[in-house]
Structures are given as C-alpha cells and as structure tokens.
Copies of this chain bind each other. A is one copy, B any other.
Amino acid sequence: MDHGLQHRKKLAAMHRIQSAALDLFEEQGFDEVAIEAVAAAAEVSPRTVYRYFGSKEMLVIWDDEDELDPGALNAEFGGDDPIAALREALRAGFAALGEDDLLLIRRRVTLIYRYPAIEAAMILHGYEKSRAIAAAVGGEDAFEVQVFVHAFVGGVLAAMRDWCAAGFSTPPFELVDRALTLLEHGFTRKRATPS
C-alpha cells in the first residue's frame, strides 16, 4: 500500500520486535517475559510495541503477508467453484513460502499451541478475517457460507495443530488439503470405508 520511508522503517522495526519477542518467549516462556523486556531487546519503547502490535499475543500472531483486499477476493472466489479456488490459493500460498518463512511460521505455530491465550487470539483473528472474506463473497446463501468459513477455519486449525504435534514432519499443504477435502465431501463416508 504505502511505500514511503516511514512505512519501511516501521515494518523493519516490527520484524525486529517480533524476532526479539519470539526469542524471549521460546527461552523463558510467554508469561514470564514482560513487554518491557521485548521492547528493551528490540531497542524501542514499550509504548511503541503496543502501538505497533496492540497486544502481547499479536507479537506471535502477526504476519506481514496477510493483508487482504476485498475486491481481489471477490474476483478470486466469486466463481462457480469457490472451494477449488480456495484450494488453489492455498497451494500457491504455501508454495510461495521460502525456507526462512516456513521456519518462522513453525516457531510461531509452536508458541501458539503451547499457550492457549495466544491460540485464542489467533482463532479470533482467523474468524474475523474469514468473515470478511465471506462477506465479500457470499450472497444469498449467507448461512451456508458462514458455516463453511467457520468450519474451514476450524479445519485449518486442526491441521496446524496436527502439523505441530507431529513435529512438522508432513508438508503443511498436504494436511490442509486433506482437511479441505473432508469438508468438501462430508464426514459420512468415512465410517463406511475404513482404511
């Protein structure tokens, strides 16, 4: 959006702050680290940390890549098969991640599932974003769309939890894809065709 010098400095500071925060949280635990310590480690004032992130949990949750744009969303998911579009968007999104990005995400996910307070904030964040997507896409059948996006967020959360619990051994897109397929086809057939 904005590419002025101020904005770039702000983003750099946010990355520095987040990095310092993750280091400290991993070392000493989320509850044991005060914002003041994070601010000191990142060489900014505590007040600035709050201005940038708004809450302690956001230090872990924040991701600079997920700014969304309702117009583009409607173009992307407004077609005949929005689930296929969603799957494709997810595949592209995961494929675009470099090794560094993935490493950072793993650190964040680990912390998110270690501390329920962070998880709660994360879930709410996910729901708010998906409701925005649903509002941009959904027309008549609002109820179905709402149920789907909430269920999808739940599914992604379950997939992420599984990914983390299994030591990040499975490629993450594969898990999300399996979850999405379950939502797509329903949960009935599962019992009829055991492995």
Chain A residues proximal to chain B, CB less than 8 Å:
80-83, 116, 119-121, 123-124, 127-128, 140-144, 146-155, 157-159, 161-162, 175, 178-179, 182-188, 190-191, 195
If A121-B120, A161-B146, A182-B148 touch, whether A80 touches B187 (CB-CB below 8 Å) is no
The residues of B that contact A116 with a CB separation of less than 8 Å are 124, 128
Q: Which of B150, B162, B187 contacts A143 (CB 8 A)?
A: B162
The residues of B that contact A187 with a CB separation of less than 8 Å are 83, 144, 148, 183-184
Q: Which of B121, B141, B175 contacts A190 (CB 8 A)?
A: B141
B143/A154 in contact, CB under 8 A: no
- State how many angstroms separate the Cβ of A91 from the closest Cβ of chain B: 18
- State how many angstroms separate the Cβ of A34 from the closest Cβ of chain B: 20
Can you give 13 contacting A-B residue pairs, CB < 8 Å? A83-B187, A116-B124, A116-B128, A120-B123, A142-B162, A143-B162, A143-B175, A143-B178, A144-B190, A146-B161, A147-B155, A150-B158, A154-B155
The residues of B that contact A175 with a CB separation of less than 8 Å are 143
A141/B184 in contact, CB under 8 A: no
- State how many angstroms separate the Cβ of A82 from the closest Cβ of chain B: 8
- State how many angstroms separate the Cβ of A166 from the closest Cβ of chain B: 10
